[in-house]
Structures are given as C-alpha cells and as structure tokens.
C-alpha cells in the first residue's frame, strides 16, 4: 500500500515540475509555484521517469511447482508405443486408465489432453492431425508419419483402417 502512494507521489512531483518548467518557458519573468517543499521528496529513479513503467516488486509468494508437461510427455510416449495415429477419444480413454483417474475427472483429463495436443501441434510442431474423409473423428500422429504436404503416409493410413 505504501509503495502505491510513493509511486503516486513521484508521478505527481514529476508532473508538477513539468508544469512549472512549461510555465517558466512560456512566461519567463513571472513567479510561479516553487517546488521547495517538494525538494525533500525522495529522488525520482529512472524506472519512474515519464514514458517508462515503474519497476514492479517481485512477488514473494511461492509458486506451486507441479509437474510440467506430464500430458505432453504422455501423448508423445503413447504415440510411440502404438506406432499408429490414434483418435483423441482413444487417447483420453487411455489416459484415464493409465493415470487411474475416476470417471468424475473425465472432463479435466479431456481438457488437459486437448490443451497439450494443441501445444504439441501448434507451438512445438511435433504432431499433426488427420481426418478420414466422411468421418468426424480426428486422429493425432507424430509429424514423421506425414509427408511434406501434411498428408498421412499410406503405411499409417492402413493401420487406421484395421
């Protein structure tokens, strides 16, 4: 709370100094507000100078360390195990079984798997998706299973049809 008011005071002092300078340049002979009372105010740092954002105090709150990439690693491992593209539904079902999740957690697991798959596809470029013509199901597969145009290789198309 104190930091907030100190920052507000610094901003106000800077603004008052700017206003008095402008008044003196526009009308040099006149007497305007003197900032003698404000001379004792702590010096303005570069971080609070106009045009720059004030430096923020680092949070002292501990962050939760949690596992990073559990689902990402699981998706990649599962794709390497089955050696064929699999549907998102199959991937989610397998994740529920492998992680011993209760049925109530299905929606959370689905969201986690979908978010990780999106990250793998869009940001990391490790997987691609494939949809069979006339089907609503999407398959996810490793990037090396696709050709340069993004089409699934025939070897893996046969594995889907089986």
Expressed in percent and rounded to 5, the helix, strand and coil fractions of the chain are 55, 10, 35
The CA distances from residue 45 to 2, 8, 15, 19, 41, in Å, are 17, 13, 14, 19, 12
Of all residues in the chain, the percent with pLDDT exceeding 70 is 78
Give the residue range(s) of CATH 1.10.10.10 domains in the chain.
Answer: 70-161
Say whether domain 70-161 belongs to CATH 1.10.10.10.
yes
Residue 146 is classified by DSSP as B
pLDDT of residue 70: 85
Averaged confidence pLDDT in the chain: 81
Q: Which residues in 94-105 are b (16+ Cβ under 10 Å) and which e?
A: bbbeeeeeeeee
Greater model confidence, 161 or 147: 147
E strand or H helix that includes residue 130: strand 127-131
* Number of C-beta neighbours around residue 9 at 10 A: 15
How are strands ordered across the β-sheet holding 86-87?
86-87, 138-142, 127-131
What's the pTM value of the predicted model, to 2 decimals? 0.57
pLDDT of residue 78: 93
Chain segment 1-59, per-residue pLDDT in tens: 788 888 888 888 888 888 888 888 887 776 655 655 555 555 444 444 455 555 676 76
pLDDT of residue 94: 92
pLDDT of residue 45: 45
């Amino acid at each position: 709370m104190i930091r907030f008011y100190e920052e507000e005071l610094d901003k106000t002092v800077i603004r008052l100094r700017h206003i008095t300078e402008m008044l003196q340049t526009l009308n040099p002979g006149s007497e305007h507000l003197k900032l003698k009372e404000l001379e004792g105010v702590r010096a303005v740092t570069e971080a609070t100078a106009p045009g720059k954002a004030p430096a923020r105090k680092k949070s002292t709150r501990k962050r939760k360390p949690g596992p990073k990439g559990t689902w990402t690693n699981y998706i990649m491992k599962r794709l390497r195990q089955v050696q064929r593209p699999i549907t998102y539904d199959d991937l989610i079902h397998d994740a529920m079984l492998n992680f011993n999740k209760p049925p109530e957690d299905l929606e959370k697991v689905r969201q986690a798997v979908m978010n990780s798959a999106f990250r793998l596809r869009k940001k990391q470029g490790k997987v691609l998706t494939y949809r069979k013509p006339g089907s609503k199901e999407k398959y996810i597969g490793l990037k090396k299973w696709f050709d340069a145009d993004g089409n699934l290789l025939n070897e893996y198309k046969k594995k889907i049809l089986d």
